[in-house]
Structures are given as structure tokens and as C-alpha cells.
Structure 1
């Protein structure tokens, strides 16, 4: 990797002092723990033409690294983050008010992140984090699109926008509303059909999916001006999903697709009328929240855990849910031992649906283990496999729960 004179300045200034109070409110407060990528406000203008800015980002576990830069004149800008060793970067580009105007996971190729966008004059923040919330080190570059990139890029144009004049295949005929109850679907490779266009005759809440893990699709929805309303990658394994709970207004829209892996793999795009029940069940199966404990969703009650409990759980594509109670403060230790090649995953929630902790692979194995301090009350445990299913097969996970209390 070659570095410009600006890069050298940035490297020397990475450990600069804390931002002045006036700058800490930038990007909706995200800049409070950020660093000017060029060392200072005055030396961080990417439109100056001196070359790209580079810095090494130390991303803490569960946190993010924020690089701040200026654009003095309207410019076409590329932002990138590439893991130095192990890791999977995710980037968000925020404007001065804190609105995310670009987000990317693997657009730089493999596990690196990359995005290109036209920016008006202003101040911007590039936030880099880890896909799995683990600590990582990443090379970060902010440059103009005429500068050399540090990432290889993926199979598609990541700056692709669906404008009114963009060629797109009709989706759902002249009125998508007419087919939503039964569902509207189309299948084609993203290489051949990156855009679909549809019309709504009335305000409508819709759910969209893009499915084929071999393609690893990114799903985008644009309005008829080319403004991107929403984007999703890896909602269900490597498949994507967008739920418009608030109705889309009547009008013309465009579906945009990007293949992070195989652009020749057939991807099925589906639109359905939004279903709150289906939406909630998807959240449950992604361990984004826990189901209610009122009997409306299957949850097995393991009762009071005073010493030790054990259960064999058959896991397939859906998570299996259990609840248990503790009657005194202490430490709960839960182990998930996969049999026959099962990749066990455990997620622990309190009874309000707030995640306490989650674990997939503990140590060097595919087994899972979590430990958490608990107070008297009810807890909810999800047992299953990681959403990407890269490792392991459906089968039995042996779950052991042990309760430890302080000696008196």
C-alpha cells in the first residue's frame, strides 16, 4: 500500500488531542470520540486535491472508530475500511447532522468495506465498526474517486443509483398493490437484472426479500428521484430483507440489488403485504428480541434453576426458546454442546426482551458458553445455530444451566 504526503501527516496526527467542544456535536454527536483524519479541522479537507487521507483504526470490541473530514467543494468521494488481519469491517458515513447517508459491509471485496458517493460541501464522519462486535484493526482511507483505492471492490458498482431514466425490469405489473396479498416474486441473476421498478396506487406497508446466499445480495429501495430509502445486507443468513412498517406513499419506486459474491447466481426478489406477525417471528428467529411469555409463541418453561438443569434441544433453521426462573442473586452459567457437528449458539434475554449476552463459538470449538450475573426474576434463552449456517448441521444441542450463588 502506498501512502501520500497527506497520509503521512494523518499518521502523525492520529493521536491528536481531544476535539474542541464545538466540534463534539458534529455528526449528531458521533464526532465526540472521533479524530480529524488529517490531524485538524484545517488539514482534513478531501477536496483540496493533495491526495487521499489514510489512518489506522483501532476499533474496540462493541465500539467504533470515527474519522472526521471536510469537503470544501462538491466532490465524488470514496470511503474504505479494510481489516489488517482477521475481522469484518462495516462502515457508516454520517453527515454533519448525524444522518447515515452511506452504509456498507463487504463492498470492498471479501470482508472489506467501500462506498462511493457525491458529497456537497460540509463536514462528515466515517464510522468503522466490526460486523461481529469484536475488536479489530483496519486501514481506513477517505479519498476522491480519482484516487487509488485500498480495496479491490466487489462484483458490482457500489455507487449504482436507480434514477428515473435507469433501465429497470417491471415488477408487479402496472400496480404492485394488486398482487401483494398473494405475494409478487421475480427471479434473475443480479448481473442481468440489477434493478426492478414498481408502482403503488395507494399508501402501503410492504416487506421485501432478496434470497440466494450464493449471491449474498444487498437489497435497496429507491424513490423515483433516485434517493435511497433503505438498504439491507445479511438479515437472514446472507439473504436480505426490508420491512416498511410505515407505508410507502403511492408512486413509483425502484428495487436495487448488489451481489457481494456471485453475480450470476439467480436471486429471488419477493414483495408481500407487511405482516406484523411474520415481522415479529423473523425478529425472534434472528435473536433480535425474545418472544412474549403469554403462550402465544412456543416457549418451554424449565422452571426454577436453583442448582443445575439439563435439556436436549433439537435445532434446525428456527431458534428454540426456553424460559427459566432464579430466586436469588448469583451467576448463571449456560453451555450449549453440539452433537453430530452442530454449531451451537446461545442468546440470553431478560423477560422484557433485552439481550443480556450471546455466544456462538467458545474457545476453539463450535460449542457455546455464556455466563451472566442475574437477579431474581425470569430469563429467556434462545438455542439454535448461527444465522449464516457456514458450519455445522441441524441436530441436537445439549444445554446445561448451572446457578451459582455467593457463599454466606
Structure 2
């Protein structure tokens, strides 16, 4: 990273070196001193100045890049963002009374991602005058530039009202709260409802944490990019919202917003009680699991899905001899159970492996497929019901020698296949991708034992084919 000048204590040594390398040129002008020694224009808050780096600009003596300087006065109750727009790759550094305060800073980035042009953000402890050095990133950095100074009203604590947005600042003096540097806001709700809290920053990876009556939620990237969002159904009460950085080194300006959210049209908000087949409900988890009941009138295929883009969903089904659970069978971090159930009453627990927020829960029923097992031959495919804790056993009849593929697919269980007989002993878990199993094997004519089961011993519906 280029520095806009070499400190005075090193200027003599470097000047001497340059003199010797130049072949003894005593008439050469000495290199530029520190920014404090240079004449500078003044940049007003919420204003801009233009300039240009040329071969006549002062030289940075450690890499040959050129620089210019601009002064700015900042009141102690403001934070300021200095932004550089330039035709070259530029670097900013901020000084006070000749001492480096912030920078050097090149094109903005956060956590390996580009976030915009070169910028500095700082908040003085009191009214003060600063000097900004604009430098090329290397000796090839020449061209026009524009420097802007934007004043920011900072609120780092106090009440955050619904429908309002506040601008805050994380700095080196912001307290560490656990593993995160964060400011704390008070959220007082007088009505139950769905609320959304969003934290955005161009300067750091945002992190939110909400605590209150029976609630402890956190989020990192749910608002997209590196911004954070918490959505939850909250009861009236006093809550604490921490707005901070995922890493302890994060610093800069952010905006935090509280808003009342509306449920999608036709959506039912239900955190417990009886589920109706075919009717999706929206729920909110902020701690302990949500418990539902479901009644089955006749032997049926029951499919339960729990989807959320805010946390890792987890489902449990209990009742009438069934004890099943699932984490990710619904794809991504969503949960799904697909099983044949007998008539009776069932309990469904919907929970989050970590975090919390809004989710969608749906129970669907349909005709129950037959129990698995029996005879199967090449060219046949079937759907069957797997019982918990034991495999379905098939008699596979191979009419002539050849290459065969046996596939087991399921959206409800982690499929597992095992084939034995006539000197063959093969098995597979995920050969068909996802959680599906596949055996590709050369077989002689004869009869084989084929077992279809689940890795986790769960019950569920599956499809079996032999080709």
C-alpha cells in the first residue's frame, strides 16, 4: 500500500540515497516533506474539491507515486465519510497534526469483496482540523480526481422505533459484547406482530442480535451481500438489539432499521395447534420448538415440509408407533418427512438447529403406497413404503448375464442399497447424488438378495428401479 509521504526523520537518508543513484545532482530539488509542510486547499463538509495528480505533484519517496493534500475541519458531533473518485487507482490517508489517523485506504473492500471506490470514515472525539492525502496506488497513478466529504449524524444507542432508521458508527472504542463489537438499541413494542430489523454497511460484515421475552435471535447475511436481517413474530415487550460486526476488527458507518412487516396475502400465522392437510401456515421461532397436532383418519402417505431462508429447519414427528426426525431432506437447510402413517393423532415439533425467524410449514396427505419387498426384475420400477428400523428385502431375478443399475430415490430418507448372492457383495449410500443410492454392477444370470433401507433407520416412501 502506498504511503503519501516519508516521515521527516527518514527524509535525509532517502534523499541521500536518491542523490547517489542520480549520479550526484546537487541542484535537484529535495523530495516533498510530510503533508503538514504542504500548502492545501480546504474541503467543506458536504462539499467537494477537484484536483489532479501530475508529474509536477509531490512525490511519495518510498515508491515514486505522486500525491496531493486537502484540509477538512470536522465538528466532534459528526462522523465523516471521505470518498475519492479518480481516473486512477487511488489511496487515501488521514492526518492530524502530522500524525497518521486513518488509512492508507484503497478501493473499498470487505471480507474479500469489492464494495466501491477508495473511502475513509472517521469520527473525531472533538472539533478538529485534518489533512487528507490523495495518492496514486503506484508510480503510474496520474490523472484528475474529485474528493467528497459527507457529514453523518451518528446515533449509537437509545430507542429504535418501528418504521425508523438510524445511522451508527463502529470504532475501536466500541465495546466488545461477547465475540462481536456492537452498539445496543432499545426496542419497545406495544403490539404483537411480524417485525423486521435490518443492518447494512459498506464498511464491515454486519451482525445482528435480538434479545427479549423468550427471544434470542441472531443473523449474519440474510439481507443479502454482507448485510444482516432478523424477521420474527414478537409479542409486546422490551427488547435489546445489538448492531455490530461479525469480526472484532470491523469498523465504519452503518444503518439499522426497524419495520413492521406484513404477511403475504392468504397466509395464516400459526405458532401451534392443529394443522389442516393441504393448508400451509407461517410460524416464527425465537427459542423453544413450536408444537403442532395432526390427525390421520385412515392409512395415508404423510408429507411434512418446513422451509425457511433464515435458519436451519428441523422437524420431528411422534405418534401411533412413529418417531421420526429430519434436518435437510427438503433441500438446502429445509426439512422434510415423507412417510406412511396409520390412523391416529400425531405431534409435530418444528424447531431451529440454530438461530430463528420465520418459517413455512405444510402437511399433505395422499394414498399410501404398498409396503416394500417381494420380487423385482430388470425393467421394473416401483414406489414403496419403508418401515422404521428394518430393510425391505427383495428377490432380484436376473434372466441373463449383463450390466445392471439399481437405483433407490427418496425425498424422505437417506437411501441405502445392499446386493448379495452368487459371489456378489456390494452396497451404496449416495451414488445417485443427494441422498439417493445407486448400484452399477455386472451380474450373472440368477437370483440375488436386494435390501432397500435408510442410513438413519427412518421410515419413509421411496422409489426403486432396476435397469
TM-score of the two chains, using structure 1 as the length reference? 0.30
Structure ID, larger Rg? 2
Q: Normalized per residue, which structure has more helix?
A: 1
Q: Normalized per residue, which structure has more strand?
A: 2
TM-score of the two chains, using structure 2 as the length reference? 0.27
